[in-house]
Amino acid sequence: MTRIPLMAGNWKMNKTAAEGAAMVKDLWGRIQSLSGVEAAVCPPMTALHAVAQALQGSKIALGAQDIFWKEKGAYTGLISPLMLKDIGCKYVIVGHSERRGRFGTADASMTPELMTVFGDNDTTVNRKAQAALEHGLRPIICVGETLEERQAGNTDKVISDQLQKALQGLAADGDELVIAYEPVWAIGTGQVCDPTEADRVIAMMREVVKGCLGKETAEKMRLLYGGSVTPENAPAIMEQNAIDGVLVGGASLDAEKFASIVSAANA
Ligand code: PGA
């Protein structure tokens, strides 16, 4: 089973519409000769339209960073699956640890009470993934353990638990669904997970997916690694057997760096 690697950039709360549009034009110029790899960018909501326009004629896919599960209604500030589809999104990140209120870096201004304003939990992640699939969007579901959970030896348990709850009741053909293993302690910290350990966890995740959605789906599904991916460490990550791509934060903001990461899939 060959799975086309997915190299996705999560811009988080960065870039205006004009900056985003300029960046993807620059990026496409750098990666257009590559084959056998799919690149995607996930700009903030306010830049989706401009970036969608700038991506016309390119093969870079567009993704959003979050979604609400209702189609429309009195939900101030939220964005529906229909809206994301309408604007040209193919992917949507679901359940990023920052939206679950699980931050890797100690930012003193983000107190535990403030973190919960983002509000994602296993149930909302499952609903969001379901809504995305029902509307023809491909969810990139994120799971990951905190440093405390890892140090307590609970990594595999935490990950399989998050995964089982996220996948509950989903009906998806393998390539419609993407899962990213993002250890919380590796996000934005410069502390990348050892590629062989990421590979081990991701291979374990594929077994969990098999149990939930069947062997065929599990073998088609792309499982990504995310957390402090850089042009320097991307080749070693992409060399691993079980890893089908990366979800990149900081290094995806720069066209040259992200292009170099995308090329690592092709090497
Ligand atoms: P990072 O973020 O690459 O900046 O560590 C990864 C992510 O949050 O997806």
Q: What is the pLDDT of residues 124-165, one digit of tens each?
A: 999 999 999 999 999 999 999 999 999 999 999 999 999 999
Query: E-strand spans in the chain?
Result: 6-10, 38-42, 61-64, 91-94, 138-143, 178-181, 222-226, 245-248
Question: What pLDDT was estimated at residue 119?
Answer: 82
- Residue from 38, 96, 135, 145 carrying the catalytic annotation: 96
Q: Are 247 and 253 in contact (CB under 8 A)?
A: no
Closest residue CA from atom 3 of ligand 1: 249
Q: Do the beta carbons of residue 180 and residue 140 sit within 8 Å? A: yes
The verdict on whether 96 is a catalytic residue reads yes
DSSP letter string over 182-210?
Answer: --GGGTTSS-PPPHHHHHHHHHHHHHHHH
Q: Which atom of ligand 1 is nearest to the CA of 98?
A: 8
Please, which residues have CB within 8 angstroms of residue 79's CB and are 6 or more apart in sequence? Answer: 45, 64, 66, 67, 68
With a 6 Å cutoff on the Cβ, whether 10 touches ligand 1 is yes
- pLDDT given at position 171: 86
Q: Judge if the beta carbon of residue 248 lies within 6 A of ligand 1.
A: yes
What distance in angstroms lies between residue 88's CA and the mean position of ligand 1's atoms? 23
Q: Is 195 in the pocket of ligand 1 (CB under 6 A)?
A: no
182 is catalytic: yes
Q: Which pLDDT belongs to residue 140?
A: 98
At residue 172, the pLDDT reads 83
**Domain extents for the chain?**
6-266
Residues of the chain below pLDDT 70: 1, 104-107, 112, 116-117, 267
Query: pLDDT value at position 173?
Result: 82
**pLDDT for res 104:** 67
- Beta carbons of 9 and 28 less than 8 angstroms apart: no
Inter-CA distances, 1 with 7, 139, 170, 259, 261, Å: 19, 21, 22, 26, 23
* Ligand 1 geometric centre to CA of 103 (Å): 11
pLDDT at 174: 83
Confirm or reject CATH 3.20.20.70 for domain 6-266, answering yes or no. yes
- pLDDT given for residue 117 in this prediction: 67
